[in-house]
A and B are shown apart, each in its own frame.
Chain A
């Protein structure tokens, strides 16, 4: 079974092993390719020292050598805007635009076709950068990450820029963490290890699964406990949203890339909290034809007590996508 949805891996997924220097950049590319994924995404400032300064010619040659060797394609680079990089100074729009352009030059040099635009980027700045992105044939995608959703007020302002400019080079990158029907167990368990009340945690999980609005749950918990850690558990329900996957439908043509967030891939190759089968069914039915890039992010929640195995988590996520009809 195959479809027009392609599979990629964000090397962000291997951050635990990369941080500890158990895997180098080539190892990460090789591990991604071994899953059968055909696309590579990076957080440039994680994978390439000095980014967003342009890498050396030697590095660029090495990079494309790896792409050939492992039969994968550069897909997306994730950029940041460090508005407050200088203490006490907030960037002007001109400074932000220049930083953004440098990320476009960086992405272009390494063959990426999409840039993940960090969510704090204003619509005005993106509008100023669009011609430069068009010149470099790079599609910009504002990341729609929980607690935002694709119909949030902030995203409506970005959508307005997309519509008004009519550009083909600006769209959305939904993060699948916006479809958490259950709260991620690895997050809840970590908070219990840090002292959260297990009974309150159970209550919050139940409310979330029932679809109770997070603000109601937060208020209920504020009456049960005055401890910060218990409130933090309640707030998990606000940060791990679930919205109807059908909310993507009117925007399908504006989706330039997708972050396949996963926090806990089970042995049966399903994600504990995200009903991927439901979301992917919507994407297939309505003709999404870009990449879904695995973005494993569970390491930070389990690294205090467990050995992290990012390679296996990514393998399971890719197998799940394949089972659901994505890629070859």
Chain B
């Protein structure tokens, strides 16, 4: 009985840690998500536009091309890291 309880406790704190790790990863990825779109594409677009990338102004490029490429990359990074996290904590599906 007491053993069962302690294993339950152990699981709970594990679940907590898993959740915290998940939130941390999510937080970082969302920072990047915000910076490339709202940051480079809108808030600082004028500053970035003074730099050119081929025939593009850089801010314009982020708003109409770059942000989208980064979004795609972000999801795949998330998938990869979460799969690893799932395995580490042994919470992946059978």
On whether the two chains bind one another, the answer is no
